[in-house]
Amino acid sequence: MLNLTLNGLEISVEKGTTLLEAAKFYGMEIPTLCSDEALSPYGACRLCLVEIGTGNHSRLVSSCTYPAREGLTVRTHTERVVQARKLLLELYLATCPSSKTIQDMASKLGVTKVRFKQKHEECILCGLCVRMCAEQMQGKAIGFVKRGIKRRITAPFAKKSEDCRLCGGCMYICPACQARCQGPQEKSPICNACLNLSAPCLDYFEEAMCYMDPCVACELGTGRKAKAQS
């Protein structure tokens, strides 16, 4: 067992526990967009930041990826942490405003104003779908491509992947997909969320580029039928 200090509390956890797991176990709530108990930690969303160390040497780390170490001092809600979280959430709202999850989280932290230019991204690149596909479904049908600001999630060559088994796990776990599906955009192969049961995809896009072709939602909905009738 490892002994550490969490928000002033002397605690002990098993070796291999992450700081996020430890905090959760002791009932401290830390917001996060990219972690899931069933998947490996990734550290992409940066919302689960905590402050480790003391005095001038303290720094912020993502608690989902940082392993508990003997003697570590951890604080989950210092001013520095909260300031960073709030600004990050403001950035999330400015980037991907239509996600219900993000909106709720922002309102909980009292972020009510966005001072940045408004963008309308559908994906926050948290990578949950990629890990879901690879780790739980052994699929590797989708993954990250490119880097920096051009980074995207897609299937190889932006075409329907042969490795995709249409399980829909990627959609199930997506935190940004809580908004209605807007249909596939011509330039991107992913239509985000086909939770919409009257999917417009196949009506509008003769050569649907959705990597979920045939899309689960579309299959259930009217899209396919409409096409069959025409």
Partner 1 sequence: MEERTKTDLENLKKQNGSSVVSLLQEVQEKYNYLPEELLREIAKERNIPLMDIYSVATFYKAFSLSPKGKHKVVTCSGTACHVRGSEKVTREISRTLGIESGHTTEDGLYSLENVSCLGACALAPLVVIDGEYHGSMTSAKILEILNGHTAGKKENGCCCHDQGKKENDCRQVSLPRA
Partner 2 sequence: MNVLHSRLKTTQDLEKLREQLRKNREEKSTYLAVCGDTGCAVWGSKTVKNFSQECLEKKGLAGTIGLKFTGCLGLCESGPVVIVFPQEIFYQKVQEDDVEEIIEKTVLKGEVIERLLYNDPVTGEKYIYARDIPFYKKQQRTLLASNWKNDPTSIEDYLALDGYEAFEQALTKMTPREIIAEVKNSLLRGRGGAGFPTGAKWEECYEVHADQKYIICNADEGDPGAFMDRSLLEGNPHSVLEGLIIGGYAIGAREGIVYIRAEYPTAVAKVRLAIAQAEELGLLGENILGSGFNFKVSVSIGAGAFVCGETSALVASVEGRVGEPRQKPPHLAERGYLNKPTVINNVESLANIPYIIRHGAVSYCLTGTEKSKGTKIFSLVGKVLNTGLVEVPLGMTLREIIFEIGGGIKNGKQFKAVQTGGPSGGCLPASLLDSPTDFEELSAAGSMMGSGGMIVMDEETCMVDIARYFLRFLEDESCGRCFSCREGISRMLEMVEDITRGESSPGQLDLLRELAHVVKDSSLCGLGQTAANPVLATIRYFEDEYLAHILEKRCPAGVCRELIQFSINEELCQGCGLCLKKCPGEAIRGEKKQPHAILGDKCTKCGICLETCKYNAVLKS
Q: Contact positions toward partner 2, by CB under 8 A? A: 42-46, 49, 59-62, 65-67, 69, 80, 83-84, 87-88, 91-92, 94-95, 115-117, 124-127, 144, 146-151
**Shortest distance in whole angstroms from residue 70 CB to partner 1:** 36
Rounded distance, CA 19 to CA 25, Å?
A: 10
Q: Which does 192 bind (CB under 5 to 8 A by kind): partner 2, partner 1, none?
A: none
- The three-point CA angle 200-202-203 to 5° equals 65
Among 88, 142, 209, 217, binds partner 1 (CB under 8 A): 142
Burial class (CB within 10 angstroms; exposed 0-12, middle 13-18, buried 19+) of 157: exposed
Question: Residue 63 region, left (φ>0) first, then alpha (ψ -120 to 50), else beta?
Answer: alpha
Specify the stretch interacting with partner 1 by CB under 8 A; choose among 11-19, 22-30, 139-147, 220-228. 139-147
**Shortest distance in whole angstroms from residue 157 CB to partner 1:** 6
Burial class (CB within 10 angstroms; exposed 0-12, middle 13-18, buried 19+) of 60: middle
**Is residue 156 near partner 1 by the rule CB under 8 A?**
yes
**Is residue 157 near partner 1 by the rule CB under 8 A?**
yes
**Shortest distance in whole angstroms from residue 8 CB to partner 2:** 22
Considering beta carbons, is residue 147 or 187 the nearer one to partner 2?
A: 147
Give the pair of three-digit tokens for residue 71: 């003697």
**Is residue 143 near partner 1 by the rule CB under 8 A?**
yes
**Shortest distance in whole angstroms from residue 72 CB to partner 2:** 11
Burial class (CB within 10 angstroms; exposed 0-12, middle 13-18, buried 19+) of 108: exposed
Considering beta carbons, is residue 12 or 83 the nearer one to partner 2?
A: 83
Considering beta carbons, is residue 57 or 117 the nearer one to partner 2?
A: 117
Rounded distance, CA 102 to CA 97, Å?
A: 8
Burial class (CB within 10 angstroms; exposed 0-12, middle 13-18, buried 19+) of 68: buried
**Is residue 95 near partner 1 by the rule CB under 8 A?**
no
Distances in Å between the Cα of 188 and the Cα atoms of 155, 157, 160, 183 are 10, 11, 12, 11
Among 140, 178, 182, 216, binds partner 1 (CB under 8 A): 140
Question: For strand 59-62 and strand 49-52, is the pairing parallel, antiparallel, or unpaired?
Answer: antiparallel
Spell out, one character per residue from 65 to 84, where the chain touches partner 1: x when CB under 8 A holds, - when not: --------------------
Residues pairing with 9 in the sheet? 6
In the complex, the residues that contact partner 1 under the rule CB under 8 A are 140-147, 155-157, 161-163
